[in-house]
C-alpha cells in the first residue's frame, strides 16, 4: 500500500506534475503532529466501535514504532522523500509496512482535509509557544539592562533629529512594552486557534460516532470546531499567527535600525560585541552590525509570507481547495526566522556596550533644552505660543554664537524676555530636563524607575501564558 487514492484512475500522474503536487518535502515538519493526531483518532475509532481492541493496539503499536524510529534516526526516510505525496501518505505507508492490513482502517471517516487542519493547528500552537518563550527571554534581558543602566542619559530623536533628552533605560523599556504587547497578542492568537477540526471529514462531517470532545481533550484543544465546512478550510489561524510574527519582526527591525544608527561612528552611543559583528574582506578597519542588518532584512520574508497566505485565501470557494497546501512553506520559514531573530537580538542586547560619555556629550549639542526654557517662561506667566517664539530667537542667538543655550550670558537671554532670571540655568541641565517630566510613562528617572519596578514585579519568563 502506498497511494492514498487512485482507484478511479487509469493513468499515473505526469512526472513533472507529481513533483509539483507533492508536499512531503516540506510537510514532513508535521510528522510528530500527524502521529499524535492519528493516535487520538485510533482511540476515537475504537471508542466508536469501528476498531476492536486488537486492531487499536496494533495501530497504536505501529504509530509508536514510527515515533521511536523518528527520535532515534530523524532522517531515516530522507532518501525516499520523493516516493510519498505527503506526510499523511508517508505515515499510512509506514503503518502498513509495520502492522499490515489493519493500517487500512485508520482513515475511516477521516479526510486529509480535517487531518491536515488538525496537524497544522498543533504545529502552530507549538510554534507560538516557542516564540512566546523567546519574546519573554528578550524582554527579560531588556528589563535587566534597563534596571542596571538607569543613570545613562541620551538624546531622544523625532524625525531622527535631536529632540529632548531621555534616559537610555527609557529607550530600552519602550521596546520592552512593544514586546509585552507581542507576547499577549501571541497568547490571544493561541487561545483562538486551539480548536479541534478533526471529525469534520472532507467537508461535511464524520459518519462514525467518534467522540470529538475526547479527541480534543487528548490533543490539548480547548473545544471542537462548530462547522465542518469552516473547519476544513479555515486558515485564519495561519494568517493571525503570521500577523503576530510580522508585528514582532517590525519591532525587532526598528530596534535593529536604532542600534545600527547608534553604533555608527557618527553616533558611537554603543558598541556591538565582536560576537555578533563581522568584518570586511577588503577594508581592515570595518566592524559591521550584520546581526542587526539580517534581522531588519529578514522582516521582509515574514511580511511576504503574511501577504502570501492572505492572497492564497482571497476568493477561495467554500471548503478545502488544494491552494491551501500553499499555507505551509512561508509559515514554517517564518517560525524559523522568528526563532533565529529573537535569539540573535537577545545576544546583541545582552552583549552590547554603552558609551555613556558619547551619549551625554551628544545631549549637549542640538538645543535639547529649548522646550525646557519655553516651559520656564510659561511658569512665569508667558503664554506658551509666545514663549515658543522667544525661545526660537534665543536658539538663533546661541547658534550664531556657536554655544548651547545654557552658555548664553543672562543679559543676552534677557534681551528676548525680561522674565528670565539667574535661576534659569538650574532648569537647563540634562538631568533637570529629564527630571522635569512629571507624567506617568515619562522619561524622568523617578518614572522610569517606577515603570521598571512595576514590570519587574509582574514579569517572569517562567509564567508562560499571560
Residues that bind ligand ARG (CB under 6 A): 23, 27, 86, 112-113, 116, 320, 322, 324-325
Do the bridges between strand 353-354 and strand 153-158 make them parallel or antiparallel, or are there none, so unpaired?
unpaired
Q: Which is nearer to ligand ARG, 131 or 324 (CB)?
A: 324
* Min separation Cβ 88 and ligand ARG, Å: 6
Nearest to 28 by CA among 125, 100, 111, 94: 94
* Min separation Cβ 116 and ligand ARG, Å: 4
Q: Which is nearer to ligand ARG, 103 or 116 (CB)?
A: 116
Q: Which is nearer to ligand ARG, 139 or 305 (CB)?
A: 305
* Min separation Cβ 283 and ligand ARG, Å: 48
* Min separation Cβ 111 and ligand ARG, Å: 7
* Known catalytic membership, residue 159: yes
CA 410 to chain centre: 53
- φ, ψ for residue 123, nearest 5 deg: -60, -50
Angle at 177 between CA 176 and CA 179, to 5 degrees: 65
- φ, ψ for residue 224, nearest 5 deg: -105, 150
Q: Which is nearer to ligand ARG, 89 or 180 (CB)?
A: 89
- φ, ψ for residue 223, nearest 5 deg: -160, 175
Q: Which is nearer to ligand ARG, 120 or 276 (CB)?
A: 120
* Min separation Cβ 333 and ligand ARG, Å: 15
* Min separation Cβ 91 and ligand ARG, Å: 12
Q: Which is nearer to ligand ARG, 80 or 357 (CB)?
A: 80
Q: Which is nearer to ligand ARG, 176 or 320 (CB)?
A: 320
Asked if 362 contacts 262 with a C-beta cutoff of 8 angstroms, the reply is no
* Known catalytic membership, residue 88: no
How many other C-beta atoms lie within 10 A of the C-beta of residue 204? 12
Q: Which is nearer to ligand ARG, 111 or 355 (CB)?
A: 111
Angle at 30 between CA 24 and CA 35, to 5 degrees: 110
- Compute the distance between CA of residue 421 and CA of residue 418 in angstroms, rounded to an integer: 8
Catalytic residue among 71, 79, 159, 281: 159
- Compute the distance between CA of residue 131 and CA of residue 335 in angstroms, rounded to an integer: 8
* Min separation Cβ 256 and ligand ARG, Å: 34
- φ, ψ for residue 367, nearest 5 deg: 55, 45
* Min separation Cβ 18 and ligand ARG, Å: 13
- Compute the distance between CA of residue 446 and CA of residue 437 in angstroms, rounded to an integer: 9
Catalytic residue among 222, 280, 318, 464: 280
Active-site residue list = 159, 280
Amino acid at each position: 500500500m502506498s497511494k492514498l487514492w487512485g482507484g478511479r484512475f487509469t493513468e499515473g500522474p505526469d512526472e513533472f506534475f507529481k513533483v509539483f503536487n507533492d508536499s512531503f518535502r516540506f510537510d514532513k515538519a508535521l510528522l510528530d503532529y500527524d502521529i499524535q493526531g492519528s493516535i487520538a483518532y485510533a482511540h476515537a475509532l475504537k471508542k466508536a466501535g469501528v476498531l476492536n481492541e486488537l486492531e487499536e493496539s496494533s495501530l497504536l503499536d505501529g504509530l509508536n514504532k514510527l515515533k521511536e524510529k523518528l527520535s532515534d534516526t530523524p532522517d531515516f526516510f530522507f532518501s525516499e522523500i520523493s516516493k510519498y505525496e505527503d506526510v499523511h501518505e508517508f505515515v499510512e505507508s509506514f503503518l502498513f509496512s509495520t502492522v499490515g492490513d489493519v493500517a487500512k482502517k485508520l482513515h475511516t471517516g477521516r479526510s486529509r482535509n480535517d487531518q491536515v487542519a488538525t496537524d497544522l493547528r498543533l504545529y502552530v500552537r507549538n510554534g507560538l509557544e516557542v516564540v512566546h518563550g523567546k519574546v519573554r527571554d528578550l524582554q527579560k534581558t531588556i528589563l535587566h539592562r534597563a534596571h542596571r543602566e538607569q543613570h545613562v542619559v541620551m538624546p531622544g530623536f523625532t524625525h531622527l533629529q535631536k529632540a529632548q533628552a531621555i534616559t537610555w533605560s527609557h529607550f530600552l523599556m519602550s521596546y520592552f512594552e512593544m514586546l509585552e504587547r507581542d507576547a499577549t497578542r501571541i497568547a490571544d492568537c493561541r487561545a483562538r486557534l486551539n480548536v479541534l477540526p478533526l471529525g469534520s471529514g472532507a467537508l461535511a462531517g464524520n459518519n462514525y460516532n467518534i467522540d470529538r470532545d475526547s479527541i480534543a481533550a487528548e490533543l490539548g484543544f480547548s473545544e471542537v470546531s462548530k462547522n465542518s465546512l469552516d473547519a476544513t478550510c479555515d486558515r485564519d489561524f495561519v494568517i493571525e499567527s503570521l500577523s503576530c510574527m510580522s508585528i514582532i519582526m517590525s519591532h525587532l527591525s526598528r530596534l535593529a535600525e536604532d542600534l545600527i544608527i547608534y553604533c555608527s561612528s557618527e553616533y558611537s552611543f554603543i558598541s556591538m560585541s565582536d560576537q555578533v559583528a563581522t568584518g570586511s574582506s577588503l577594508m581592515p578597519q570595518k566592524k559591521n552590525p550584520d546581526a542587526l542588518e539580517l534581522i531588519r532584512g529578514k522582516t521582509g520574508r515574514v511580511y511576504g509570507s503574511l501577504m502570501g497566505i492572505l492572497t492564497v485565501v482571497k476568493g477561495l470557494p467554500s471548503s478545502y481547495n488544494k491552494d491551501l497546501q500553499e499555507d505551509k512553506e512561508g509559515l514554517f520559514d517564518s517560525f524559523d526566522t522568528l526563532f533565529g531573530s529573537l535569539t540573535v537580538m537577545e545576544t546583541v542586547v545582552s552583549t552590547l556596550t554603552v558609551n555613556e560619555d558619547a551619549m551625554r556629550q551628544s545631549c549637549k549639542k542640538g538645543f535639547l533644552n529649548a522646550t525646557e526654557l519655553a516651559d520656564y517662561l510659561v511658569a512665569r506667566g508667558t503664554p506658551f505660543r509666545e514663549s515658543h517664539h522667544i525661545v526660537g530667537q534665543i536658539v538663533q542667538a546661541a547658534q550664531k554664537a556657536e554655544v548651547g543655550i545654557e552658555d548664553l550670558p543672562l543679559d543676552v537671554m534677557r534681551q528676548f524676555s525680561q522674565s528670565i532670571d539667574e535661576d534659569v540655568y538650574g532648569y537647563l541641565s540634562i538631568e533637570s530636563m529629564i527630571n522635569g517630566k512629571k507624567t506617568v510613562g515619562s522619561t524622568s528617572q523617578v518614572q522610569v524607575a517606577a515603570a521598571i519596578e512595576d514590570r519587574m514585579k509582574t514579569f517572569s519568563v517562567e509564567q508562560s501564558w499571560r
